[in-house]
Structure 1
Amino acid sequence: MQAALDTWPDWELPLTARPEVVARVPGGRTNRSYQLRAPGLRFDLLLRLNNPRAEQLGIRRESEAVILETVASAGLSRGACYWSPAHDFTVFRHVNARTWSARDFQSETQRRRLLEALGVVHQLRPDTPRRRYTDYLDHYWRQLEAAGALEASLKKQWADFRPALREFDESDWVPVLTHHDLIPENILENEDRLYLIDWEYAAVGHPDIDRWCLDPTLVRHPFIPELARWTNDLWERVLALHARS
């Protein structure tokens, strides 16, 4: 964190002195974030220290930057103020807002607001590749296999699941910009709007993934629940694997 703060003259912001840490921002299992007091600015900043295992977790920072700019331009997220050249940290404007909770997902009014926001997201067209879920989950699977972290029963289930996964990828559903991690902690609300944050797992993919996160009964494609379960399970295993290394 201190090394990141030392680069503040490169941030191309009208700062008059080195930013100071106010507090660590709670939540987040992939990265660590800190609220900064920013001398010379009328607002605070947020410093996100990006997980050094981004590639292993299936995160492409270059794609995230393009998607974030696209969504921020539509007024649905905060844009990045600065990306470090190595993409090891990112600086954002700090948003004074309330973080959603599970209770918001249960509110009909809040659900309607979120679905309206998702309707806008799904119309955006960032210049990033379409996600092939087979390739994405294969990437997780190969890491676990190389580490000897797969039990025989899971290998059997995977052998049964993967052909259906390939068939899903090759079917004719329409890909749209999809968040892929739409949990309450990634939704902020102030008096003006909703902000959808943490777009690092986003890609042009299947919109039912976002609906599944909000409410599985909203899902239209019958394969999505199984795909979501496999994605979450393998992600948890990969995260645990690298936490031990």
Structure 2
Amino acid sequence: MLLEQTLSDWQSWSASKPVVIEPLKGGRTNHSFLIEVGSQRAVVRINAENSHSLGIDRQQEADILSLLQPVGGVPKIHFMNDQVLISEFIDGRQWTDDHLKSTENFEKITRLLNKIQGIPLPKNSQRRSYVDYCQHYIQQLPKSRQASEKSVIKALEHVALEVDQSSWEPVISHHDLVPENLIETEQGLFILDWEYAAYGHPAIDFVRLYGGGYSHPITEKILLLQKGIDELWSLVQG
């Protein structure tokens, strides 16, 4: 229903009437569709109803995508609200784990992330508290699960606090930067799916991609933090 409603209002975001080509596979929570708009293709993403429970801030995603538009390396946004995102379809080669083994590719992603991290943040932007972010998930768990996992939760909160209290300035961070979200085209490298983006730790995207192979003073702490958040996400998602 939401897809049909969005497409029926096409004149508010497009000069041409869109046509649905096919559903897109691969999303863990949202539903996405490939559409054709005139001579161009675009993607309609119908947001998951439990976005907030999963730690997604749609307003922050919109703010960050707006900041990224002039920089490049991300899809152009045609339309966005708290339920739907319509963005440029990036047709290219999706990276895999094998692409991360190349020094040339490491330099490519480093240049792009450095460019993104160099964007000045809005004056009212708030640095992510990883303790609060973990708590957002923990508080959704049944009390019995919180009790049975008390030692694990305490260890995660401790490492989140260590990351929070380490010395760093926030930057635009993707927070879900896996190879599947990297597409290489003739125009360069693109990063997709920014729904978990926030003003976070500058090493967190590198560690997500390269794990312990990325050299940083708190790489191990970030790895533990990411592992714990991933596990909490899975428990909340069910």
TM over 0.5: yes
* 2:70 counterpart residue number: 73
| Paired residues of 2:61 and 2:194 also in contact (CA < 8 A) | yes
Take 2:94 and 2:146, find their aligned partners in 1: how far apart are those partners? 36
Aligned position for 2:9:
7
- Name the aligned partner's letter for residue 8 of structure 1: W
Superposed structure 1 runs of 4+ greater than 3 Å apart = 148-151
Give yes or no for contact 1:46–1:91 (8 Å, CA) kept in 2.
yes
Q: 1:168 and 1:45 mapped to 2: Cα distance?
A: 38
Matched, 1:226 2:224: yes
- Indicate the residue corresponding to 1:28 in structure 2: 27
CA distance, structure 2, for counterparts of residue 172 and residue 35 of structure 1 = 43
Query: For 2:155 and 2:41, how far apart are their aligned partners in 1?
Result: 50
1:156 paired residue number: 151
Shift of 1:107: 2.1
Q: How big is the shift at 1:160?
A: 3.4
The offset of 1:150, in angstroms, is 4.1
Query: Does the C-alpha gap of structure 1 residues 229 and 100 become closer, same or farther in structure 2, counting only changes over 3 Å?
Result: same
Partner of 2:101: 106
Find the aligned partners of 1:103 and 1:24 in 2 and give their Cα distance. 27
**1:82-161 alignment, distance < 5 Å:** 82-84=79-81, 87-127=82-122, 128-145=125-142, 148-150=144-146, 152=148, 154-161=149-156
* Matched letter for residue 32 of structure 2: S
Query: Contact (CA 8 Å) 1:211, 1:219: kept in 2 or not?
Result: no
Change in Cα spacing, 1:192 to 1:160, as seen in structure 2 (3 Å) is closer
CA distance in 2, matches of 1:45, 1:167: 41
SS at 1:228 equivalent: helix
Q: Relative to structure 1, is the Cα distance of residues 151 and 60 closer, same or farther in structure 2, using a 3 angstrom cutoff?
A: same
Matched to 2:40, the amino acid is F
Shift in Å, 1:144: 1.0
> Does structure 1 retain, via aligned residues, the 8 Å contact 2:174–2:205?
yes
Letter in 1 for 2:209: L
Aligned length: 231
The answer (yes or no) to whether the contact 2:178–2:209 under 8 Å persists in 1 is yes
Percent of aligned positions that are identical: 30
The verdict on how the C-alpha distance between 1:190 and 1:150 changes in structure 2, with shifts beyond 3 A counting, is same
- 1:235 matched to which residue of 2? 233
CA distance in 2: counterparts of 1:219 and 1:137, whole angstroms: 24
One-letter identity of the residue aligned with 2:15: P
Cα RMSD over matched residues? 1.7
3-state SS of paired residue (1:20): strand
> What is the letter of the counterpart of residue 9 of structure 1?
Q
Match of 2:52 among 55, 60, 65: 55
Whether contact under 8 Å (2:170, 2:200) holds in the other structure is yes
| d(CA) in 2 for partners of 1:172, 1:93 | 37
Look up the match of 2:165: 170
Could you list the per-position Cα deviations for residues 154-210 of structure 1 after superposition, in whole angstroms to 9, with x for gaps in the alignment? Answer: 211212332342243133222221111111111111111111111111111112211
Please say if residues 178 and 210 of structure 1, whose CA atoms lie closer than 8 Å, have aligned partners that are also in contact: yes
Partner residue, 1:243: none
CA contact (8 A) 1:66 1:126 kept: no
2:45–2:86 contact (8 Å) kept in structure 1? yes
Indicate the larger mover: 118-127 or 51-60.
118-127
TM superposition score normalised by structure 1: 0.87
Q: Which deviates more, 217-226 or 227-236? A: 217-226
